[in-house]
Structure 1
Amino acid sequence: MDLNVLKTFLTAAELNHFGKAAERLYISQPTVTVHIKTLEKELGVTLFERTGKKIKLTEAGRSYVTHARKLLEMYEDGLTTLRSFQQGYTTKLNIAVSPLIADNVLPFVLRKYVEIHPEVEISIDIIESEQIENAVLYEKADIGLSCLPCYSKELEATVLYTDKVVLVAPHDGRDFESAYPLEEEELLAAYHVFTHNHPAYWDELARNIQRVYPYSKMMKVSQTHITKRFIAEGLGVSYLPAGTVRRELLEGRLLEVETSAFPLPEAKTFAITKYQHQAQKGFLRFLSQFRL
């Protein structure tokens, strides 16, 4: 079967228009018509109903769309595998990673890993933690590195790291050897609290903050790296996993503030897998040596 014919069929099925399919594929409309007729003859069914210039899939056509996609995917997967072998790779790992985890020491870990394992081709997909479970479940990723556990019985979630959550404030230039310590109550009265930069703990934490400090003002900022930038600019404070601000604290760009009004949560990093193949297990063993 000519794969170009399959591509033409799928494009026409998506657009419901032979002319638009021709434009997208950079071929003539008569060529589209020939491709569709060739496929219909080979399959022995009518794939499209034609009413003037309008077309729509027949029941048989709708049924065949899924099979056509699978055939193209198999072909493209085969090409990818061959190219990988030509480049010296013998194993491939697709990893789905949350932005928060990817923003920490993951680049350092990956650099070390590929130095030791040049035979492994790694593909990184940065997606939100809420999407990682499905990415692994439907085999779009071999490993998921998430801030959330998984709930599917088909998957296994392993806690890689547990990190304390700390209150982080901007550095105001004081001499902290002689100045009095910053107080949580003082900060929450003076600054906005940036919330929901971590997918696991903020709903309960926000309730605790409002219960103890009902006057506090909150602002949702969904990304950790933006939260840190806003804090450094003096726009507010936030409760963040200690590992995500380790460098900023060491360099004095941000300050950690002691808290006691209510217990702070822990932030966990989960490795999510569907299969325990050698490549997955080897990568996770290597990863567990580092703090993300």
Structure 2
Amino acid sequence: MKALKINLDQLITFYFIVIEGSLSGASARLCISQPAVTMQIAALQKQFGVKLIRVKKKKVNLTKAGEMLFIHAEEAYRSAMRAESLLHGHRSNNLRIGVAAALMVYLIPVVDQFTELYPSVKVTVREGRSLNIIEELLDFEHDLCIVGAFENVNKELRAFHIPDVERMILVGAPGDPLAQRQMVQWKDLDGYPFILHCEGSIARTVITREFRKRNIKPSISAEIDNIKCMKRLIESGKGVGLMFYPNVKEEIAHHELSIIPLVDGDLKVGIDVIVNRETALSPPAADFLALTGSRFGCIIAAGDQGFPA
């Protein structure tokens, strides 16, 4: 077999220069200095005598050869990441999970049960916004992710849908005017101070879709990506908010928050368990997936894990 003349590190550096659109962006993604990035791409161009990029005002533009090479650079990078994910996955003591912040309360019991059943497996859980977690899954940083139900799942992913896991409830401070009423309708939220989840959250997508459907425009007091901060703002009377009951049940029990009943329709949210199509599911991930299905009363078939095509 003929030995490769191309330096794969240089090829990957070229890939990130294109993805980030700048040498500084590639430097940040690769965690190396910008001069090192410049040296890598210069060496690659010099070795083959081909100009790949042009830098003008710190912005990278591809030559025709660069455009053609990028296709192979992307394939090389994704192939290397698949290989790395495969090796990680076949370490029987490792499981990496991404979870949407609002759904952490549902994941904790499953993780606790899993660690009891499989004490030798190291479970790493990363919490974040749903869209960020999914981007990390596409970059092979997780074995699986648990997020709010998506309407359209990226074709590179496979999703198992668990419908109507929990309804979102409207909550406010006990002294909030809406909390004093016996009957509240969705239309009462039009123009009303409202605390909303930040961009990138599936909860936000579900809520804003409901508002659009009902032609409601609340007055957004704040956009928060932290559940604790959201609860504190609502408790202080800055507005009302729609939240999952398990995330606020303690505050409701202590009368720090009040449930505001909506009489004209519940807002129910499902969960998607998502894996990357490009990687084989490791034994720990398959076991965790089955345990998750059992927790929510779903049967996840072996082999294809019950995911729709």
User: TM range, normalised to the smaller chain?
Assistant: 0.5 to 0.7
Deviations 1:237-271 (A, max 9, x none): 223332221222233321223443x2222222232
- Tell me: CA distance 1:251–1:156, structure 2 relative to 1, closer, same or farther (3 Å): same
Instruction: Tell me if 1:37 matches 2:36.
Output: no
1-structure distance, mates of 2:131, 2:61: 38
- Tell me: CA distance 1:224–1:164, structure 2 relative to 1, closer, same or farther (3 Å): farther
State the structure with more CA Rg: 1
Unmatched segments (≥5 aa) in structure 2: 198-202, 297-309
2-structure distance, mates of 1:131, 1:119: 22
- Counterpart among 160, 170, 173 of residue 170 in structure 1: 173
Query: Shift in Å at residue 159 of structure 1?
Result: 1.0
2-structure distance, mates of 1:28, 1:241: 49
Counterpart of 1:66?
A: 71
RMSD of aligned residue pairs (Cα, Å)? 4.8
Contact 1:95 1:122 in 2 (8 A): yes
Contact 2:97 2:123 in 1 (8 A): no
Deviations 1:190-249 (A, max 9, x none): x94425532214433576595xxx9x7554635462432211112222233322212222
Q: Read off the aligned partner of 1:194 and give its amino acid letter.
A: F
Counterpart of 2:290?
A: 285
Contact 1:170 1:233 in 2 (8 A): yes
2-structure distance, mates of 1:101, 1:201: 15
Deviations 1:102-133 (A, max 9, x none): 3x34345435434543336546363335984x
Contact 1:149 1:157 in 2 (8 A): no
Instruction: Tell me if 1:46 matches 2:50.
Output: yes
Counterpart of 2:34?
A: 24
Q: How does 1:208-247 map to 2 (within 5 A)?
A: 219=221, 221=223, 223=225, 225=227, 226-247=229-250
1-structure distance, mates of 2:165, 2:54: 60
State the SS of the aligned residue for 2:258: strand
Unmatched segments (≥5 aa) in structure 1: 174-179
State the SS of the aligned residue for 2:240: strand
State the SS of the aligned residue for 1:46: coil
1-structure distance, mates of 2:8, 2:128: 31
- Counterpart among 176, 195, 200 of residue 206 in structure 2: 200
- Tell me: CA distance 1:167–1:75, structure 2 relative to 1, closer, same or farther (3 Å): closer
Q: Read off the aligned partner of 1:149 and give its amino acid letter.
A: F
- Tell me: CA distance 1:126–1:65, structure 2 relative to 1, closer, same or farther (3 Å): same
Structure 1 residue ranges, 4+ long, deviating more than 6 angstroms after superposition: 134-140
1-structure distance, mates of 2:53, 2:267: 59
- Counterpart among 101, 104, 118 of residue 103 in structure 2: 101
2-structure distance, mates of 1:135, 1:27: 23
Contact 1:150 1:157 in 2 (8 A): no
Contact 2:92 2:284 in 1 (8 A): no
- Tell me: CA distance 1:242–1:25, structure 2 relative to 1, closer, same or farther (3 Å): same
Instruction: Tell me if 1:268 matches 2:250.
Output: no
Contact 2:99 2:133 in 1 (8 A): no
Contact 1:205 1:264 in 2 (8 A): no
- Tell me: CA distance 1:185–1:218, structure 2 relative to 1, closer, same or farther (3 Å): farther
**Count of residue pairs the alignment pairs up:** 262
- Counterpart among 248, 252, 258 of residue 251 in structure 2: 248
Query: Shift in Å at residue 287 of structure 1?
Result: 2.6
Q: Read off the aligned partner of 1:151 and give its amino acid letter.
A: N
Instruction: Give the stretch that moved more between structures: 117-126 or 279-288.
Output: 117-126
